[in-house]
């Protein structure tokens, strides 16, 4: 299923709080991370388990479940993706972080990479790409292209709010990559903001402007 809109009551409640115009930077950051945690929970439901024998509390051997050695990299897209990173790492503390930064060339309108630093053995990792807003989808598609060029085969996208235009662009370019979002909003306005959206997520996370 390429698009997964997470209807869990806690997700919807926290997203509702996040949309409040007068929210403080502190609260916005906390909620963005909490939603990052909840989306991670949803996006990892198919992770495989293996049996593992351990010493139980009374000295007997017991068999418990452990994650089956899955290697994960979290890929925040600068800068707003950083606002979900701690929340994702809360559930996946051993994950390596691969950072990507892109800007849009105003002449060609194409995304240009200005920073990339990928975790080792990236081709063997499950990549969780995080960005609060999936707007036009241009930077997301460029990031997914990069990850596939590096050999990544298991990629998942986690966003707080998605626009139909961005979902269409990502699913057309990468129909194999699932998107997990707290909301599929109405549309993009002329300035490229998602409506109703959250406003500029980067500014809200970093307290700028
Ligand atoms: N980036 C944002 O921060 N907000 C939007 O609405 C669209 C892109």
ipTM exceeding 0.90, yes/no: yes
Centroid of ligand 1 to alpha carbon of 200 (angstroms): 5
The predicted structure's pLDDT at residue 1: 66
Per-residue pLDDT 10s for the chain (209 aa) are 699 999 999 999 999 999 999 999 999 999 999 999 999 999 999 999 999 999 999 999 999 999 998 899 999 999 999 999 999 999 999 999 999 999 988 888 789 999 999 999 999 999 999 999 999 999 999 999 999 999 999 999 999 999 999 999 999 999 999 999 999 999 999 999 999 999 999 999 999 98
Closest-CA residue, ligand 1 atom 4, reads 200
The predicted structure's pLDDT at residue 110: 85
The predicted structure's pLDDT at residue 105: 84
Query: Which parts are annotated binding residues for 5-phospho-alpha-D-ribose 1-diphosphate?
Result: 79, 104, 131-139, 200
**Residues comprising the chain, all counted:** 209
Is the CB of 193 inside a 6 Å radius of any atom of ligand 1?
A: yes
Euclidean distance between CA atoms 101 and 15, whole angstroms: 25
Euclidean distance between CA atoms 39 and 9, whole angstroms: 12
The predicted structure's pLDDT at residue 144: 98
Q: Give residue 59's region: left, alpha or beta (phi > 0; psi -120 to 50).
A: left
Closest-CA residue, ligand 1 atom 7, reads 193
Is the CB of 183 inside a 6 Å radius of any atom of ligand 1?
A: no
The predicted structure's pLDDT at residue 42: 98
Residue 20 DSSP SS3: coil
Q: Domain spans of the chain?
A: 3-45+71-206
CATH number for the region 3-45+71-206 comes to 3.40.50.2020
Centroid of ligand 1 to alpha carbon of 191 (angstroms): 9
Ligand 1 pocket test, pick from 165, 169, 192, 195 with the greatest ligand atom count within 8 Å of Cβ, gives: 192
């Amino acid at each position: 299923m390429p698009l997964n809109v997470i209807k869990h009551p806690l997700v919807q409640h926290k997203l509702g709080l996040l949309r409040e115009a007068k929210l403080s930077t502190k609260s916005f950051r906390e909620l963005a991370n909490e939603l990052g945690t909840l989306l991670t929970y949803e996006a990892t439901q198919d992770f495989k388990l293996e049996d593992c024998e351990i010493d139980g509390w009374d000295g007997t051997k017991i068999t418990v479940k452990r994650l089956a050695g899955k290697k994960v990299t979290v890929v925040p897209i600068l800068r707003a993706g950083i606002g979900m990173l701690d929340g994702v790492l809360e559930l996946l503390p051993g994950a390596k972080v691969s950072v990507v930064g892109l800007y849009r060339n105003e002449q060609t309108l194409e995304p240009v990479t200005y920073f990339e630093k990928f975790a080792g053995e990236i081709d063997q990792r499950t990549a969780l790409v995080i960005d609060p807003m999936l707007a036009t989808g241009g930077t997301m598609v460029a990031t997914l292209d990069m990850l596939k060029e590096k050999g990544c085969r298991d990629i998942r996208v986690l966003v707080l709010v998605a626009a139909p235009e961005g979902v269409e662009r990502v699913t057309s370019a990468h129909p194999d990559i699932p998107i997990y979002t707290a909301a599929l909003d109405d549309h993009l306005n002329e300035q490229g903001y998602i409506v109703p959206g959250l406003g500029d997520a980067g500014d809200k996370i970093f307290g700028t402007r």
